[in-house]
Structure 1
């Protein structure tokens, strides 16, 4: 059992903010996986203000990190308030939370011009990422690429459901093709060798994927509304 100071600044599940608390109990446990640096902690604190108890679980995944103002990597824990049971949040959102929220808005935009199956894949892939299921999220990115190729093949816009066919038909340029191949290869590694992308790598991959989806499906539809040249009055 980890010995902590009697008082500490902790989130109170009733006050919904960080307060001075008495730490009544705290213990760490290693998360069963390949990397022994992943662990979870369970703590019980009592707020010095409202006297309410808060029971929290925090999971520390070594690959789930952000860079601080000094350029150093800091592990970002995934925190769950177990008690009070009616806790509804209120902790300052991490950059990952804000990033996922921005993508959720873009997914709604995808519904207007993307095939339904692709939108559903993107939604489930992002959901896996939000929950720390990086292996599934990485494999999901590969599935999205497969779905894009298949959709373009079914629409008879490319001859084969291949990444190279997208480039040959002008939907992507060579640099974009190389990037898609990198993401696809990472998805293969996750599926067959159980090597997922880490937090910042997934963020970059998701950002690239949304740009690619815009190029594939949104720009062609916008082009339908733009005339070849403006007619004279």
Structure 2
């Protein structure tokens, strides 16, 4: 009987228990070993074992991966090369459920609106931005929020304006057409307000988000998850007002 040297999680017992490596009818362990010796281009020395294991308490079966490489050690003395205590990483499948952190649960983004009329461009950016927040990629999430604002403007034809000359008139190209230049984001937000797509309060909030986004990009300042959660809620509220409210209809059916 070959006993696993460390207690591992059992899905039936719902705790860490002692396990044995399963053998077949011929007494051979159901185990596969591998190491860097099998790979000519391997840069790191490693050893790995894959085993079918059985709980000694309830007899249920699991799959175990036992892994070690040359960088997995704890120093036990002053000599960096000689005073090393190597350790193994045990990964069992099915895996042990992760304990939910109450704070992390509180900071999870929760859908407050149902969207059926978002343009594909906005919907795609929104989904990726929410996914970035879920995986704590705060810099990418903040950039995504800024991109959603840009996409709202683009979908409403708010992205360019005629270039103005020193005399105040429009600059024309060789074909006598106005030369167009890109609007800055604060100009786009102002135009959203002029077209009554957002109100004064929403304009102020979007400009605050824009300012914080500039800090993130130019000063590499990492925003907090709680702040990003608020921005996502604000953006969703604005998206709902622009794209869903105009499509709502609460008319009662006429009696025949």
> TM-score range, shorter-chain basis?
0.5 to 0.7
After superposition, the Cα gap between the structure-2 partners of 1:83 and 1:220, relative to the gap in structure 1 and judged at 3 Å, is: same
After superposition, the Cα gap between the structure-2 partners of 1:102 and 1:13, relative to the gap in structure 1 and judged at 3 Å, is: farther
Note if contact 2:146-2:213 (Cα within 8 Å) is conserved in structure 1.
yes
Give the drift of 1:16: 8.4
Give the drift of 1:141: 0.5
Work out the CA distance in 2 between the residues paired with 1:149 and 1:17.
55
**Corresponding residue for 1:39?**
none
User: Out of 189, 200, 213, which is 1:163 matched to?
Assistant: 189
Ranges in structure 1 where 5+ consecutive residues have no aligned partner: 1-11, 22-46, 56-80, 155-159
Larger fraction in helix: 1
1:154-233 matches, within 5 Å, as 162-222=188-248, 225=249
Give the drift of 1:204: 0.8
Give the drift of 1:130: 1.1
**Corresponding residue for 2:146?**
142
Give the drift of 1:85: 3.5
After superposition, the Cα gap between the structure-2 partners of 1:211 and 1:95, relative to the gap in structure 1 and judged at 3 Å, is: farther
SS in 1 for 2:129: helix
Normalised TM-score (structure 1): 0.55
Residue 118 (str. 1) matches residue 122 (str. 2): yes
Question: What's the CA shift string for 1:113-140, capped at 9, x where partnerless?
Answer: 0000101101111111111110110111
Normalised TM-score (structure 2): 0.50
1:1-233 matches, within 5 Å, as 13-15=9-11, 83-87=91-95, 89=97, 91-92=99-100, 94=102, 96-97=104-105, 100=108, 102-103=110-111, 106=113, 109-110=114-115, 112-153=116-157, 162-222=188-248, 225=249
Work out the CA distance in 1 between the residues paired with 2:220 and 2:12.
38
Note if contact 2:11-2:94 (Cα within 8 Å) is conserved in structure 1.
no
Note if contact 1:125-1:136 (Cα within 8 Å) is conserved in structure 2.
yes
Work out the CA distance in 2 between the residues paired with 1:16 and 1:174.
58
RMSD: 4.0
Note if contact 2:11-2:96 (Cα within 8 Å) is conserved in structure 1.
no
Work out the CA distance in 2 between the residues paired with 1:209 and 1:149.
13
After superposition, the Cα gap between the structure-2 partners of 1:166 and 1:206, relative to the gap in structure 1 and judged at 3 Å, is: same
The aligned length equals 159
